[in-house]
Amino acid sequence: MTTSSAPGKVYLFGEHAVVYGEPAVPCAVERRARVTAEPRDDDRVRVDAGDLTLDGFTVTWGGDVDERPDVDAPPKLVAAATRYVDEAVQQTRAAIDDETQGFDITVESDIPLGAGIGSSAAVVVAAIDAATRSVGVELAPETVAERAFQAEYAAQDGQASRADTFCSAMGGAVRVEGDDTRTLDAPPLPFVIGYDGGAGETGELVASVRDLRERHSFAADTVEAIGELTRTGEELLAAAADGGLSTDRLDRLGELMDVDHGLLSALGVSARSLDAMVWAARDGGAHGAKLTGAGGGGCVVALDRTDGTERSLSLTPECEQAFRAELATEGVRVESP
């Protein structure tokens, strides 16, 4: 039995534009998913996800079981969770060259589901790492990232990018542009996250941006503008990593985040709750704030060394939870052998 953990992430810049080959800069944050994997003597897969809903759920499938049993949890959540884990198991089986290996898998997570901070990627990364290690196979983080991407790509019907899984596996700040993935030097960024308690439909939001981009030239220009903004942000991060994260550099990074939120809003992926939290963060003294992830609901991310932003968000009716999440310098890791 092996337990591995992997961090969630926020997008400093670049979500949605990364789908069209523009660069994105996601950053791992210290909110983790932990997955425990234990090999079985048959080919079944049993998933115990006790803290993913109010009541949690346990489901077993495989072998001669034709239908998955009814469980006391929303069917849509169960279907999504089991699909991600199922694809992670398929990648594990391919990595260990055993198509019949079964597993008991337990999932625990500090990351809000579907909120735009990488819950599915963290679960898939941690699951592949824990499951392969549980049968004596150790994969490099880069290999875990690639297999996790393939799992998410299958689970999301071909709409996943490498950004989330690469960031979760490697930790820190990373740059993703198409198939080109690399780590970036970055200072300890003071992230504050606000969560509205909801979640956007990633597939629907990606499709809506695609439709807008095909119908209106301004949307294509907006996507390109996000790419240019991201490149400027990379230069600022590099300067801060070399020369320190001064207040001036925080202000400049924050300004880019503010502009990025405006561009994402122009693409139609923000929401009233996200806009309200962004403005609350700015009113609380944040250097900058924006939505993170697909949008439509979920989380915003701000930069602030003080407690002003967290306090302001906590007093905002649209914000269900506000918390600080420092940059996670470590990606996937073993918690117990």
User: Which residues carry out catalysis?
Assistant: 164
Amino acid at 30: E
* Residues whose CB is less than 8 angstroms from the CB of residue 316 and which lie 6 or more positions away in sequence, other chains included: 194, 276, 277, 280
Question: 291-319: buried (b, 16+ CB within 10 Å) or exposed (e) per residue?
Answer: bbbbbbbbbbbbbbbeebbbbbbbebebb
Question: 322-336: buried (b, 16+ CB within 10 Å) or exposed (e) per residue?
Answer: bbebebbeebbbeee
Other Cβ atoms closer than 10 A to 138: 10
Q: Tell me 153's DSSP state.
A: H
Task: Give the largest CA-CA distance in the chain.
Answer: 62
Please give the structure tokens belonging to residue 269.
């992926």
CA 235, chain centre distance (Å): 23
Which position has the token pair 């079985």? 40
